Structure 1
Amino acid sequence: MNLKKIVSLVSVALISILIVYGFVLIYQIFSGNTKFSEKEMYVYVPTGSDYEQVKKIIAPYVNNMDRFEMVASKASYSENIKPGRFLFKKDMNSYELVKALRFNDPVSLAFNNQERLENFAGRVGSQIEPDSLELLNTFKDTVFLKENGFTDENVLVMFIPNTYDIYWNISAEKFRDKMIKEYNKFWNKERTAKALAQGLTPIQATILASIVHKESVKKDERPRIAGVYLNRMKLEMPLQADPTVIFAIKKKSNDFDQVIKRVFYNDLFLNSPYNTYKNIGLPPGPIAMPDITALEAVLNPEKNNFIYFCASVDRFGYHEFAATLAEHNVNAKKYSDWIVSQGVKR
């Protein structure tokens, strides 16, 4: 066999090997490499994770780790780990898995109706990487509070209920800083001027809105209730808001899970800065996180001459309003009799 023929055979053999290798490589890169039944799922890579830790995290969802590692090595992924939340889809190949681990998918973080800062921290901490304690400590940082005019008691007013796109691995400090930016954006010149027209600062307006929010679930009634409370404040009357008494009871017992449906006469004398039957003016902080409709109700209250109101027996969820104490006493007795007939104790 001459040299030319040998070279030709060797060349054919090498080409064949390269073709087979190419097919194997293509198979390793582009064939499906997941083993979960859902259409899609998220994996979470904590801040500071290294390549070995990432492999442990994704191992339950990857069918062949050798194929994944081969592609990850070619793509230099092991030297470029990113923390965050990453979307895996069913039947993704190794190339797509590596690509997915480079795209941090934001969380649509939503919150509303949180009663205390602790509840809020828990709600947020269940949706992003920092835990509730880390968030709480950040929110209560004394330097931050002083710089932004908040206190431990009222800092909950800073958080405007909404849905925000947040990266899962955002730090507690960066989350807090984003929230203060959103707060300042909400309290623009127009809204601040409206609050001032009612004799309120943005913080005071939010505290009052928290009471309005708790008083009525009927959004169309909230401007009227806000008008009543503002009337009382102008007359330097106590606000006499039952929701503040309920909050005071819960705060004193440190039991915010209890359900209180009725406020008794003796409760009105509870010694607490949140008891607006004993104290004139607003409590030192919000009794809940008011939603936007409650805030707008305080900024755009109904102008009326009502001073009193109580729950309506005839229109469930609404209230009966009165301009005089005599009118109110009639409404209040009707409601009290109904409560007794229903057997409501606490």
Structure 2
Amino acid sequence: MPLRLSARDRHVWALFADWCSATDQPPTPATPHQLARFLHDNPAAPATQRRRVSVINTVHRRLGHPAPGGSEEIRCALDATRAARLERLSTIVAERIMQIPVGGWPAGFFGRRDALILVLAASGVGFEQIARLRRRDIIVTGDDDAVVCLTDHGDQIVLPAALESRIAVATVYRRWAEVLGFLDRHNGATRPLGDHVKAGRNLSGFDSEYQADDRPLLTTINRWGHTPLVPAPLTTRAITAIIQAHLSGRPPAHTLPPPRVRSGSASATSPIESNHPLDPHYYERGIEARRNAHQDLSDVIDLLDDIEDRADRLLAEMAGILDDDT
């Protein structure tokens, strides 16, 4: 093998390569499911299994392949406590997502984003990792579009297909992608999105407009349902607050305040009192006043020119004094 490995690591890789040969599978690139089967067929202590996964990941990275040990399936197989914690979290999240609105304005806007945040957290993605996600970091693959892959530092992490067999991860992601696709079509303007939703129209199909680029996947939204002109990613603290609010069962309602109603006295215009006749010399006096003002202001230019000349003379005198002193 061309890669430089220690004797201990070479033994681990040889074991994996022999197992792949026996099961008629290529050792690289290996899939997470393939690695999980290897661990199942070669039981060992948790520390030994973690060492095996680390070596297999290292070889894959050096060869330019995604590390198969980054999937949540492998993580849970190596850490029973983590698996139990995520199982409990998945149960709660599945119940909460059923209650989150995906329509209406702006509740549905917030709801689609928050549902994706909850799904990622329940899938084992860390809060800091969620906050730094870019649009290009998540893709949906597979014949049935049910495999969601997340890329982190070059490694692909395959997320679970569903939570509690009720919430499809790909569906939750696609709902948010529909929102982003609609915004992409309208150059990021959220007002057309609000009008579209208020009119009772759905967003199905707009995920085809989605542009997988370097912009943040999860952006801030103000109370009016608007996003900043330059997309700003959610911070880790904001991610934590959103998750805690939903898990506690007390998420914000995200309802717009009622429009202000102007009082009748403020909106009414003062009536024109037409029963007072104008002075017969009203127009003549106005024209005369404007003529006088025009004549008076015509002297302003001459006055400004005189001031400018005086300033030039003063500057010249000061320059002469300074030259004499030197």
Question: Smaller-chain TM-score range?
Answer: under 0.3
- Kindly indicate which of the two structures has a greater share of residues assigned to helix: 2
So what's the TM-score if we normalise by structure 2?
Answer: 0.23
So what's the TM-score if we normalise by structure 1?
Answer: 0.22
